[in-house]
Structure 1
Amino acid sequence: MSNIEYPKGLKGTIDILSQEKSYQSVCHRHYPDQPMPSVYIMEEIVDLIREIIFPGYFGNSPTRPGSVQYYIGVNVELLYEKLRQQIYAGLCFGCSDADKFEMIEAKQKAAQLAVKFIDQLPDIRYQLSTDVEAAFLGDPAAQSRAEVIFCYPAIKAITNYRIAHALLQLGVPLIPRIIAEMAHSETGIDIHPRAVIGNSFTIDHGTGVVIGATSIIGTNVKIYQGVTLGAKSFPLDDKGNPIKGIARHPIVEDNVIIYAQATILGRITIGANSIIGGNVWITSDVAANSKVIQEKFRFGGFVGGDGI
């Protein structure tokens, strides 16, 4: 390395970038025999899962009764191999002491976790079928369920969420968050994989939606674009750092509708069958069967404020 002739002016920059104090807070110590997670392969994994869950919609899998089992079998086998490798990479990345990392044990664990996840695909398919139905029935503009599956960003984001949530529940590190952020980048819908969301969940339009890590959402909940289920504050430890693992996001009970740009903060409960109007700011519990809207206002002779 010392014999390389750098263009004038670059050597000083290289020296600075190579100093440990310059990179120690942003460097991951990567050992040659331990793979790194790949976003590109995880995109392939999500595409495979989407093809398995929605046969006939994605990829080239035919849905004829005589061949569908063969094509699903091929895809599941391919999914197992790719997922096993990525889970192993996640375990490598997440180990706290690489020198004590047991590679053979981690490879066996990755294989077991991949099988456990694949065993959950029938349940994930059922959950997503309820989400598709909720989106179709809840949107007069939807011409068919096929349109919902193909086109709606909410279904893409919820699919990634349900995949990521299942992996997180199995204890897979890092991979679930990457899968969730893939959908966030594409759709503008930010659902943390640790959130708990019931069946028949739908997001209309979706851009700007944020659902925090400790949020709990019941069954048959509908939210619109720009809704935030966030934290009101972050408790700090003695060193001034946020205390992790505290439930700090809202609980939304069954059959709730939350309209556009509503902001709901803190560990509060939105009671069942409630309607939350647009652009409201809520930091305290809302009783069941409530209707929360903006206070009416008068501006230039116009009276408004129904909020929904």
Structure 2
Amino acid sequence: MSTPLVAFLNRLSAQQQHYQYRLPSRPDAGRFIDQLMRLLFPVTQDCQSATANAGETYQRLNDQLLCLLHPLQPNLNTRAEAVALRFFDELPAIHDNLLLDAKAIADNDPAAISIEEVIAVYPGFYAIAVYRIANVLLKAEVPLLPRMLTEYAHGQTGIDIHPGATIGASFFIDHGTGVVIGETTIIGENVRVYQGVTLGATHVAKSLAQKKRHPTIEDNVVIYANATILGGHTVVGHDSIIGGNVWLTESVEPHSLVYHQSHIDVRPILQQG
């Protein structure tokens, strides 16, 4: 190796001592999520999981989670084994919530044939599932890994849900590409969101990191494609409908209809003789 390359490699090694965190690998995080989804919803199986019983799959997943937590142990408030135990104790509740999400999609999307189809192929369901899994780890005060999981789902689906968001039961994301849900967003029950929706912040200054920066969406709200709703003080009242392409930075009362008006001209093309 050349002298400059040796110096560069030595600099990289020295730099590692200054990082605040050691992190698990992103491929390992993705494998954990996908195998956990197959445990929760065995409507799809790979060759390995098809030959394993639930107990064997659980043990493998427990080992994988411990492996993911191991680099983070210096930044955990308790032992990795206790975090893993708490996480798996939450699995029944996660599963129940996800069944409600799948049912909401199947009941509201005319194109959905069955809950099995929703679970197997709908990107909105997958993104919601990974969010609910990551949210449990975040509440257990696991740093960075929850975000790593939701960013994996972001890459797979184009749907960006921060693990710190609060999302109620029976959540439905239709199509989903381009949906962004910020960290301090609060979403009630039976909410429907379409592609391109942003629930974001009006200001992104670092000093606001501990403030509520994202909107609150109450129960039974429908938000159509490409609507943008911003601000920590913005509340969309229950049973409201937010139309496509709306830009909203102020609260609306329950049972409101908010829509964007545009003017479109349709004219015949003049034929040249």
In 1, the alpha carbon distance for the partners of 2:23 and 2:225 equals 39
Is 1:48 the counterpart of 2:35? The answer is: yes
Structure number with greater CO (CA < 8 Å, separation at least 6) is 2
SS at match of 2:53: helix
Alignment of 1:81-160 (within 5 A): 81-92=63-74, 94=75, 109-160=79-130
Alignment partner for residue 74 of structure 1, among 32, 56, 62?
56
Match 1:210 to one of 180, 201, 209: 180
List gaps (5 residues or longer) in structure 1: 96-105, 236-240, 303-308
**Cα separation, 2, equivalents of 1:252 and 1:211:** 11
Counterpart in 2 of 1:229? 199
Q: Which residue of 1 aligns with 2:209?
A: 244
State how far apart, in whole Å, the 1-side matches of 2:23 and 2:18 are.
8
Which amino acid is the alignment partner of residue 76 of structure 1? Y
Q: Offset at 1:256?
A: 0.4
**Normalising by the residue count of structure 1, what TM-score does the alignment of the two structures yield?**
0.78
Larger radius of gyration: 1
- Give, in whole Å, the separation in 1 of the partners of 2:42 and 2:9: 49
Return the offset for 1:301: 5.8
Q: 1:261-291, CA deviations, whole angstroms, 9 ceiling, x for partnerless residues?
A: 0000001111000000000000000110100
- Within-5 A mapping of 1:255-274: 255-267=220-232, 268-274=234-240
What residue number does 1:305 align with?
none
Residues 35/223 of structure 1: CA separation in 2 closer, same or farther (3 Å cut): closer
Partner of 2:255: 289
1:64-110 superposed Cα distances (whole Å, 9 cap, x missing partner): xxx9xx81111111111111121122234x48xxxxxxxxxx8x710
Whole-Å Cα distance in 2 between the matches of residues 246 and 299 of structure 1?
Answer: 41
Whether 1:253 aligns to 2:218 is yes
Shift of 1:58: 3.0
1:163 to 115, 123, 133: 133
* % identical equivalent positions: 42
1:37 corresponds to: 24
2:17 partner amino acid: R
Contact 1:85 1:110 in 2 (8 A): no
Unaligned runs of 5+ in 2: 268-273
CA RMSD in angstroms, aligned pairs only: 2.6
